[in-house]
Structure 1
Amino acid sequence: MNSRALRADILLFITAAIWGLAFVAQRVGMEHVGPLTFNGVRFTLGAIALIPLILHMRKRRTPGFTGVGKKQLLLGGGTLGLALFFGATLQQVGLAGPQLAEYGFQASTAGKAGFITGLYVVFVPIFGLLLAQKAGLGTWIGAALAVTGMFLLSVTTDLSVSFGDVLILVGALFWAGHVLLIGKLSPGMDAVDAIKLSTVQFAVCAAFSLVVAALTEEITLGGLQGAAMPIAYGGLMSVGVAYTLQVVAQRDAQPAHAAIILSLEAVFAAIGGWMFLNEMMTVRAMIGCGLMLTGMVLSQLKP
């Protein structure tokens, strides 16, 4: 492995760690603000954080290269932003312990949410069948292992499952659709256009989240102040910094390496839940996590 590839893998590892620990911030933030308020503010910060990167990279663009049109960016970014809104909302509500408890439902934990969300890695090639994309044996074996692992992780011995886990699983379907949409929209874009597209989708997601939050949640200055650190981490680190690292790293990383390393996000979510939230996993749940991680990696090694 050359030095550029090694650097890329290290940056992707850091990205996975930032994204995994973001589940802790998302869980803690729910103690002060509603899920849609949290998402609205953090995606606003994320969109703003990418603007300096766009301005910097535009200066290094190949002279004469105009990129894609504004209409394509706005339409594509709007579509992605809508998919992102549903995926992020379901994930955030699934983690919203105090809010779900008011209605007698149980929220997911940071660790479980990380692994269940990670199932989008398996869902993507399966959904690709609808687009006439072939799925290999590794994909089907990986999917079987992931589903078995999810059962052990989320379904208790009395065959009950938390409402939060269900919401996050449905959200993973939207994350998979989001990835497929990016695959359709991104060909032909350079790095600047790709980051512009992400900025638009973050802004659209933020706008939808804030509008719905204003209609359904109580937004207070005290709540925003209490959730300031989790929101800042979710917006600046998880969206701004981690996305930038991903863009830089994937220029030199092998696609299979990138997907496998980024799937470690689920592991870091579990570690973060244990370290910062005192979340404990049973042996059954640990076996489930192991099977899910194996399924994610296998679906990328032998797609």
Structure 2
Amino acid sequence: MSKQQQMKSSLLLLITACIWGSAFVAQREGMNYVGPFTFNAVRFALGALSLVPLIIWLDRRSRKSSHEIKASVKSSAVSGFLAGLILFCGASLQQIGLIYTTAGKAAFVTGLYIVIVPFLGLFLKQRINANSAIGAIIAVYGLYLLCLKNDLTLGTGDLYELVGAFFWSAHILLIDKLSRQTDVIKLSFVQVVTCSVLSFIVAFATETIDFAGLSQALIPLLYGGICSVGIAYTLQVVGQKGAHPTQAAIIMSMETVFAVVGGYFILGELLDTRGVIGCLFMLVGMIIPQLPPIRRNIIAQE
């Protein structure tokens, strides 16, 4: 793969991180008016709708036969459903966690996928170097400072975000595999439709869908749907096609910085000294895996 392609992928993933980071603010603001599953159901539906014109335009532009288009849709449907299941779990845990914690803390805990991805990759027989191991230790200590209370317990919201980080990590690894095998735009469309449908099912069963609340949450929903879902998840799928999963996780973890900045300026969220130090440790832990290898071939079990 050429350097130009790698740079393009990195840029797309950085834009994704920027959109996702600021979306934490929109997601938390939207929670003032609607429940977590209602919010996700509507925003993912909006994201799916925003992709329809793009899919139609690309199919016409490609001049593929109807048979080729049908084959592409079939392949994307299976892959997208699998990705959508994991996306639903991660997005649901993230949205519920935002009820109990700040946008900045939620983003930092979610950003631990930068550490988790290489270790999950061990199960796929991917190598992990010393940088990733050291980064993991530093990031976990940062998580301790940021989230653990004096009695060594995690806050409710932080725990939701931490479990969600494992699903985001699995999603990154799955997208890395699927994006090389199928139409990336259709894959993105099917996964967000799957997430929306599952969210609607849970919302109808557990929440009261209030149309007055939806109207009040219109701006967060539009941003969370069109920008965070329709644009950013598509950029993620396209960007990951030309990037290693660990590299992709590192770049996308920059969403934490954008979330903290947005939370401070828009929501007035502040961290205490211990929390700020914890964030710094986590940021260092996220950056270290990107540095030149300290030692090659620390690997895992065969």
Any idea what SS the aligned residue of 2:89 has? helix
Which position in structure 2 is the counterpart of 1:37? 38
Give the total of aligned pairs.
290
1:269 equivalent in alignment to 2:271: no
Pairing partner for 1:79 from 79, 82, 85: 82
Q: Which residue of 2 aligns with 1:201?
A: 191
**Counterpart residue identity of residue 134, structure 1:** R
Q: What is the rounded CA distance, in whole Å, between the counterparts of 1:7 and 1:145 in structure 2?
A: 30
Q: For residues 283 and 248 of structure 1, what CA distance do their matches in structure 2 show? A: 38
Question: Which deviates more, 291-300 or 80-89?
Answer: 291-300
How far apart are 1:12 and its partner, in Å?
Answer: 4.3
> Is the CA contact 2:25–2:267 (under 8 Å) kept in the aligned structure 1?
yes
1:66 aligned partner: 68
Partner of 2:130: 137
Q: Mark the runs of 5 or more structure 1 residues left unpaired by the alignment.
A: 97-106
Deviation at 1:149, TM superposition (A): 0.8
- State the alpha-carbon separation in 1 of the partners of residues 47 and 9 from structure 2: 22
Aligned pair in 2 of structure 1 residues 60, 290: CA closer, same or farther (>3 Å)? Answer: farther
Q: Does 1:48 align with 2:61?
A: no
Q: Does 1:220 align with 2:210?
A: yes
Structure 2: which 5+ residue stretches go unaligned? 297-302
Identity, % of aligned positions? 50
Instruction: Answer yes or no: is the 8 Å Cα contact 2:188–2:233 preserved in 1.
Output: no
AA aligned opposite 2:277: I
Hey, what's the Cα distance between the residues in 2 that align with 1:183 and 1:255? 6
Partner residue in 2 for 1:26: 27
| 8 Å Cα contact 1:263/1:297 also seen in 2 | no
In the alignment, which residue of structure 2 is the partner of 1:232?
222
CA RMSD in angstroms comes to 2.7
Q: In the aligned structure 1, how far is the partner of 2:119 from the partner of 2:247?
A: 20
Instruction: Determine the C-alpha separation between the residues in 2 that align with 1:74 and 1:4.
Output: 27
In structure 2, the partner of 1:101 is none
Cα 1:249–1:159 change in 2 (3 A) is closer
Pick one of 150, 153, 168 that aligns with 1:157.
Answer: 150
Residues 1:169 and 2:162 are matched in the alignment: yes
What's the TM-score, normalizing by structure 2? 0.86
Please report how far the alpha carbon of residue 6 of structure 1 lies from its aligned counterpart in structure 2 after TM superposition.
6.8
The one of 284, 290, 293 aligned to 2:274: 284
Q: Do 1:259 and 1:300's aligned partners in 2 also have CA atoms closer than 8 Å?
A: no
SS of match in other structure, 1:159: coil
SS of the aligned residue for 1:281 comes to coil
Partner of 2:300: none
Matched letter for residue 185 of structure 1:
L
Report how far residue 248 of structure 1 moved: 6.4
CA apart distance, 1:287: 1.5
- Conserved? CA contact 1:120–1:172, under 8 Å: yes
Q: Which amino acid aligns with 2:47?
A: G
Deviates more, 1:62-71 or 1:208-217: 62-71
The alpha carbon displacement at 1:186 in A equals 2.5
Q: Classify 1:255/1:134 alpha carbon distance in 2 versus 1 (closer, same or farther; 3 Å).
A: closer
Q: Aligned partner of 2:54: which letter?
A: L
User: Retained in 1: the 8 A contact 2:26–2:223?
Assistant: yes
Give the structure 1 partner of residue 174 of structure 2. 181
- Work out the CA distance in 2 between the residues paired with 1:253 and 1:84: 20
